[in-house]
Structure 1
């Protein structure tokens, strides 16, 4: 069992560090370009993985940058934790749903009115005039 763990644990660490390195945005990579970190993790699995975990990625804290803006939040992150908000917790998303719903209701009312008008136009020419002739 111990022999298996000595092989599986470093392999799992290497795979996890490699995937983490690939999926990390460029603005969160520290010290070296992202491509260099990927090569280090690939060529030196154990040492590269540990180096990536220790020194390669900016972890925690407030993010600043193009996506974060001046306040460090992109509009869909929780102000304290920096984690994304769920859609049902995001007031901007809920407001946009209400706005879209109102627009759809207005459009449906316009369509119904247009349909009634067209039906009246079509019926106007087909209805008998109650036996009256001019």
Structure 2
């Protein structure tokens, strides 16, 4: 009889730990029926009943996630992360753009060096 109670205690403890870790690790937007904090508190304060309730009513459903109304209106990828966005459409225009970027960078370097030189000269005159 004592072995059966001990085994039952270990099973309840393992279920409690599993459900607590599962609730904490689940994304907040996928948890059902209560906020995440509510489920964690229920599981903490009522180990057996809270764990069973989590498995039955709170745990995110497996399978395909249904997008919310807001997500259905949005494109699949934001513009900056769209696949193929970084690929050059016209290699000649891409080469011209890179040449212009290099020229601007060189002009900025020269202007910075001249500014530093003027500051040193102004500091020596003081």
Query: What TM-score results when the alignment is normalised by the length of structure 2?
Result: 0.50
Q: How much does 1:27 deviate?
A: 1.4
* Aligned residue in 2 for 1:38: 40
Q: Give distance in 1, aligned partners of 2:10 and 2:44.
A: 17
Q: Give distance in 2, aligned partners of 1:60 and 1:9.
A: 24
Q: How much does 1:64 deviate?
A: 3.5
More helix by share: 2
Runs of 4+ in 1 over 3 A off after TM superposition: none
User: Is this contact kept in 1: 2:42–2:50, CA < 8 A?
Assistant: yes
1:51 and 2:60 matched: no
Q: How much does 1:44 deviate?
A: 0.3
User: Is this contact kept in 2: 1:27–1:65, CA < 8 A?
Assistant: no
* Aligned residue in 2 for 1:29: 31
Q: Give distance in 2, aligned partners of 1:29 and 1:60.
A: 11
Q: Deviation digits for residues 99-129 of structure 1, max 9, x if unmatched?
A: xxxxxxxxxxxxxxxxxxxxxxxxxxxxxxx
* Aligned residue in 1 for 2:8: 6
Q: How do 1:66-105 residues align onto structure 2 when only pairs under 5 Å count?
A: 70=72
Q: Deviation digits for residues 8-63 of structure 1, max 9, x if unmatched?
A: 00000000000000000011101110000000000000000000000002222311
| CA RMSD across the alignment | 2.5
5+ residue gaps, structure 1, are 76-91, 93-134
Query: What TM-score results when the alignment is normalised by the length of structure 1?
Result: 0.47
User: Is this contact kept in 2: 1:14–1:41, CA < 8 A?
Assistant: yes
5+ residue gaps, structure 2, are 78-82, 84-126
* Count of matched residue pairs: 73
